[in-house]
Amino acid sequence: MAEANFTFTVEGMHCSGCANLVRSILEDDVEGVTKAVVDLDRKEVEITAEDGTFNQQNAAEIMVKNGYKLV
């Protein structure tokens, strides 16, 4: 299956612990995500997901429940 990349700013991410948690949440809890690479300095995450299975709204809702916001 083809993959697609998505890049988001992450609000609420302040330290390496936050960055690790964001990566873990995305990779473990969001359907279709195969990889999440977090750039703490830029406060961004690049998500690699199976094309057609990643739902941005679902990912945003899961992140809000954990104290972060995808922009």
Q: Contact at 8 Å (CB) between 11 and 69?
A: yes
Domains, the chain, in order of start with CATH, read 3-70 (3.30.70.100)
Helices first, then strands: H and E counts in the chain: 2, 4
Quickly tell me which residue has 């406060």 as its tokens.
43
pLDDT in tens, 11-69: 999 999 999 999 999 999 999 999 999 999 999 999 999 988 999 999 999 999 999 99
Q: Report the pLDDT value the prediction gives residue 51, as an integer from 0 to 100.
A: 86
Element (H, E) at 45: strand 44-50
Q: Judge contact between 59 and 30, C-beta under 8 A.
A: yes
- Residue 30's nearest CA partner among 55, 10, 4 is 55
